[in-house]
Structure formats: structure tokens, C-alpha cells
Amino acid sequence: MPNFLTMKREWFSNVRGDILAGIVVALALIPEAIGFSIIAGVDPRVGLYASFSIAVIISLVGGRPGMISAATAAVAVLVLPLVRDHGVDYLFAATILMGILQIIAGYLRLNLLMQYVSRSVITGFVNALAILIFMAQLPELINVPIITYALVAGGLTIIYLFPYLTKAVPSPLVAIIIITSLVYYAGIDVRTVSDMGELPSSLPAWLIPNVPFNLETLQIIFPYSFAMAAVGLLESMMTAQIVDDLTDTPSDKQREMKGQGIANFFTGFLGGMGGCAMIGQSVINVKSGGSTRLSAFVAGSFLLFLIVVLGALVAIIPMAALVAVMIMVSIGTFSWRSITDIRHHPWQSSVVMVVTVVIVVWTHDLAQGVLAGVILSGLFFASKVKAIFNVDSQLSGDGLSRHYIVAGQVFFASSDDLVEAFDFKEVLDEVVINVEQAHFWDISAVGTLDKIILKFRREGTNVSIIGLNDASAHMINRYAMHDKALEDADIAPQH
């Protein structure tokens, strides 16, 4: 019974909304899949078959209901050299290996690394994607007939105003139908889907990549597969987090990792390129009313139905209608509040967000932008923790003993400050270092304590350490070199 209830909740709790949203997503997938195929240097059918295969399979085995996965630009840009130098069959082999690596990553629970990605990095990632989505529409907006701008404006008007009449039908779908009908019956000469490339007319077939099964092939495809797997998982995990926030529902990110791997593994055997989660289409899906696995399944299935059965009808859809939908997605994806938050948030958070945006947009590489944001976040965090480190001291009445009080976190960033807080030239019989309010985190901190004790001892001063907490005492007893018999000397945990 619980399994039946789970299946009903994940598949059939929002049938009408999921079917309509899936249809809208399928229409939006067509130009993107063709465009990504061009980026990768392969036939349009490779991207279209991949989008069908990944969307359907991930709906069955993924961990984030309502999220759309398909062929993506992030993966496409990585494989162009592989296709150019070795041919498309090596792409299929690399996609299969990409899936295997992602499945392994899922079992290793690498999704837990997302805990170290700050909110500022995610906001920067989202804003950068919104900008990239808009930039991807520019070729359809430059050096085109003026009527194209009117059609795009008309499409946006329908998308934003139609919900005031009714929300029974997704407004992007209405915009596509109206703009397509207008262009077709008025005989307006503008670019259509057919201008993007020939649509396939048959179902994808099961194939074995025509590559030698030897170590040399593995050496060729492994670097590409590894990069594809890493970028694909990174974008999928961050998109899942965004969909979690949009829908206020949790996801199983370990299952999603394995699901992405399974989807890419089988997609390689169906003549498709690698892919991952798509934030743009996921936003379209959620905003069009999609929320369960059914919407992704419908999106993939209807995409195949469109290109194989209704190819002639799909071919007449004007690109202006699809551009209007993608501009809506770009506007809806961008975190406009992050602009006003720059004045209120800590400047370090704003810098991390802006740097992530700039690097992603500049390089068109999500991994580089996110990596830079994560590193910067870590540096700022270490700097903040270091800033609250403090050392006070008090000289005894007879002038022969000094009592140091260390407060804060002692680690690699604050270890130099700890050394500089002591006066080793002061003539004393005894020094007491009270670390009751401190914590020693790493071997840098332990090494610094070694240095302090040994310097005082060289000056003929007895040193006592008091107030160590259990964790710090354990680390010092294990790694400190100044006196391996600390438990017999002056260092003792505080109880």
C-alpha cells in the first residue's frame, strides 16, 4: 500500500497540470536540442534522441520529480573536440562511460559535496544561467526582419497577460499556438524550426558504438567522460536544489546522481549525446504547472511524438515564439532580488555571487564559475573565523609568571597570529596558556603550539597548557612533537 501511495503521489497526483506542462517543455526542447547538436558538431537527431531518452529515463529513476533533464549546452561544449577528431561513435562511447562514472559517484555519495556550496554561489549560478539563456536567443534577434521583434513582443504579451484570463492552459503553450497560427495563415516570412535542421523521421535504434574496445579507446574517451560526468552532476545537483526551493519539496540527490548515470548510460546506446538537468526547462515545467515524474515523462515522450509523427507541423513553428518562451524563462530564472540584496548583504557574499556570475558568463563553463565561487566562499569564511581570534595576557604580582588566555579557533589561518601574540624574550619562570575558550582544528594549529612551547623552553621558561577540550587534547596528544608524553606533563584535558 505505501508503494502504491508513493507511486500515486509521484506520478498521478497532478495529471492534468503535468501533461500540459510536459507538452510545453517538449516544444521548448526542440530548438535547444537542435542547437546543442550544432554546438557539439553532430547531426540534430543526436541531440533530439538524447533529449527524449534522458527525459523519459530520468522520470523513471531520478530523485527530483518535476525536474527536466535532456541534452544540454554545458555538456555539448565539452565534446566538440572529441567528435571533430575521432567521430560521433566515440561520443556515444564517451556518453556510456559518463553514465558509469555518474552511477559510481552516486554510490560514493558525492552529492554530499553540495553542502559546501554556499547560497551566494547558487544565486550566482542561477543568475549566470539566466544570462546565458538570454544570450542564446540573440542569434534569433540580430539581423532579422523587424516583424520578428513584433512576434516576440506579442508572444511575451500573451505569456504574461493570458494567466489573468485563465490558468487552465499554460500561457507559453497558448503563445506558441497563436504565434504559429498567425505566421502560417498570414504567410509571414520568418525563421522557423525547419531552418534549424532536419528533424528525424524514425525512432532511435539500439546500437553498439563502432569503436575499438581497447585501452587506447579508453584513454581517448575517459578525459571527456570524466568532464561530462562532473559538469553534468554539478548542474543537475544545483538545478535540483533550485527546484527544491521553487516547489518547497525535498529531493533525493543521491538517487538523482544514479538516475543521471543510468539515463546517460542507455542514451549512449540509443545514439544520443550526454546530458543533464536543465534549469530553463525545469523552470518552464514548474511554472506551467508540472510537479511530478509524469511531466518529465510526457515531455520526453511528446518530444519523440512531435519529431517523428508531427514533424511537419513542428517545422512551421516560428523561432520567434520559442524565443519569447525562453526570454520568459530567462526573466523568471534571474534572481532580481539579489541586485537589491547587494546593498544589504555582507560584501563578501556579494563578491562571491558576482564572481560566480562573471566567470560562468565569461567562460560559458559552469564548473569554473562554481569552483571559483566555492573557493572564494571558503577563503572568506576562513578570514571571518580568523578575525574573531584573540589572545590576552596578565603578569603575576611578582613578575615571574604570565597567564595567557587564548580565545577563538586555532587553525592554519590563525596560527601565525597565535605565535605573534607571545613575547618569548620576556624573562619569566613560568608561562600558563589557558585555551579553555579555544579549539585546535588542524595540524597547523598543533605545529604552532609545538613552536610556542619549544621557544619558551629554549628561554628556560616552564610552560603549562590548561583548559584543553577533549577534541583538541586528542589531536595534540596524537600529533604534537614537543613532548610525546603530554599526559605525564603539563597538558591535561579539562573536565
Q: In this structure, what C-alpha cell is assigned to residue 226?
A: 570524466
The 3-state DSSP class for residue 268 equals helix
Per-residue pLDDT of the chain (495 residues; tens, 9 = 90+): 457 788 888 899 899 999 999 998 998 888 778 767 867 778 778 888 999 999 999 999 999 999 999 998 778 878 888 998 999 999 999 999 999 999 999 999 988 887 788 888 888 888 887 888 788 788 889 988 999 999 999 999 999 999 899 877 778 888 888 999 999 999 999 988 888 777 777 888 899 999 999 999 999 999 999 989 988 898 898 889 889 988 888 899 999 999 999 999 999 999 999 999 988 789 889 988 898 999 999 999 999 998 888 888 888 889 898 888 878 878 877 888 888 888 888 898 899 999 999 998 888 777 788 889 989 998 998 888 888 888 999 998 888 899 999 999 888 888 888 888 998 888 889 999 999 999 998 999 899 999 999 889 888 899 989 988 998 888 888 888 776 544 444 444 444
Do 234 and 367 contact (CB within 8 A), yes or no?
Answer: yes
DSSP strand pairing (430-440 vs 462-466):
parallel
Q: Where are the beta strands (DSSP E) in 357-448?
A: 390-395, 401-410, 430-440
What is the pLDDT, as a whole number, of residue 2? 53
Residue 378 backbone dihedrals phi, psi, to 5 degrees: -65, -40
What is the pLDDT, as a whole number, of residue 298? 95
DSSP strand pairing (69-71 vs 275-277):
antiparallel
Residue 318 backbone dihedrals phi, psi, to 5 degrees: -70, 140
Q: How far apart are CA 282 and CA 275, in angstroms?
A: 14
What is the pLDDT, as a whole number, of residue 148? 94
Q: E strand or H helix at 22, and its extent?
A: helix 15-40
Beta carbons within 10 angstroms of residue 191's beta carbon: 16
Q: How far apart are CA 216 and CA 54, in angstroms?
A: 28
What is the pLDDT, as a whole number, of residue 489? 45
What is the pLDDT, as a whole number, of residue 254? 92
| Locus of grid cell 506551467 | 288
- Bridge partners (DSSP) of residue 408 are 438
Q: Mark 445-482 as b/e (b = at least 16 C-beta within 10 Å).
A: bbbbbbbbbebbeeeebebbbebbbeebbebbbeebeb
Which region, left, alpha or beta, applies to residue 282 given φ > 0 means left and ψ of -120 to 50 means alpha?
alpha
Taking alpha carbons only, the member of 258, 272, 356, 359 closest to residue 47 is 272
DSSP string, 318-360: BHHHHHHHHHHHHHHHS-THHHHHTTTS-HHHHHHHHHHHHHH
The Cα-based distances of 35 to 31, 40, 282 in angstroms read 6, 9, 18
What is the domain partition of the chain in residue ranges?
4-380, 388-490
Q: What is the pTM of this model?
A: 0.73
What is the pLDDT, as a whole number, of residue 494? 44
Is domain 388-490 classified as CATH 3.30.750.24?
Answer: yes
